[in-house]
Chains A and B, each alone.
Chain A
Amino acid sequence: EAGVAQSPRYKIIEKRQSVAFWCNPISGHATLYWYQQILGQGPKLLIQFQNNGVVDDSQLPKDRFSAERLKGVDSTLKIQPAKLEDSAVYLCASSLFPNSRLGVQETQYFGPGTRLLVL
């Protein structure tokens, strides 16, 4: 079974530029997550999709970050304009089911991440 795919793996931009990251989740996984992991910290959830709808974007800096999952499969995360503090690894994850209503918690499977450096 193919895992979560992300591209690019690395990106270097200057502040105030724009950047976009792409994620293709595991086939059949309804839920997709974008995380930001700053050096020395754990991953922090930015946005959660269930199919093509947003479930939680409470920690997404909406003035500069946007994300979409138009067909309920792959997703794009964009930063415009980038700031120095956006330097981080951006991780995409997916899970089969969105929540624990059935009493079953779903494990999230992570992609390799995109390492962003803003100069």
Chain B
Amino acid sequence: DQQVKQNSPSLSVQEGRISILNCDYTNSMFDYFLWYKKYPAEGPTFLISISSIKDKNEDGRFTVFLNKSAKHLSLHIVPSQPGDSAVYFCAASGATGNQFYFGTGTSLTVIP
């Protein structure tokens, strides 16, 4: 049972434009959400997180939006750069522990 879903396996964006990666979850007990970035042959690297008490968190070019009623979060990258090309995973966890449930990932390609 996939509790965290990323329905777009891939996304291509022109350099300088906005990249929007989407993630949906089913478990209403999730209250902490993260985005990880993964390059080939490397482990996932933490990018940005958001707690359920917020609906937006910003860090430089990266902004995560959370819509609790829709059980949806998105990652915006503005402006997109070729170095952003990677697989992006969203993950969620609940208040009862630190187990993170990961989505299947979205492969982002930023075209120069």
Q: Which of A64-72, A77-85, A109-117 contacts B (4 or more CB under 8 A)?
A: A109-117
B46 touches A109 (CB 8 A): yes
B97 touches A55 (CB 8 A): yes
- State which of B46, B49, B99 has its C-beta within 8 Å of the C-beta of A56: B99
A30: min CB distance to chain B, Å = 11
A40 touches B100 (CB 8 A): no
A35: min CB distance to chain B, Å = 8
Given known A-B contacts A44-B102, A56-B99, A100-B32, A112 and B41 have beta carbons under 8 A apart? yes
- State which of A4, A100, A113 has its C-beta within 8 Å of the C-beta of B98: A100
User: For chain A, what secondary structure do more than half of its interface residues adopt (helix, strand, loop), or is it mixed?
Assistant: loop
Tell me which residues across on chain B come within 8 A of A44, comparing CB atoms.
102
B82: min CB distance to chain A, Å = 22
CA distance A95 to B46 in the complex (A): 12
Q: Which residue of A lies closest to B93 (CB)?
A: A105
- State which of A31, A40, A105, A113 has its C-beta within 8 Å of the C-beta of B32: A105
- State which of B42, B44, B45, B51 has its C-beta within 8 Å of the C-beta of A105: B51
Q: Which residue of A lies closest to B100 (CB)?
A: A108
A31 touches B98 (CB 8 A): yes
Tell me which residues across on chain B come within 8 A of A107, comparing CB atoms.
34, 46, 49
- State which of B34, B43, B102 has its C-beta within 8 Å of the C-beta of A4: B43
Interface residue ranges, A against B (CB under 8 Å): 4, 6, 31, 40-45, 48, 55-56, 91, 93, 95, 98-100, 105-113
Interface residue ranges, B against A (CB under 8 Å): 4, 6, 32, 34, 36, 41-46, 49, 51, 89, 91, 93, 95-105
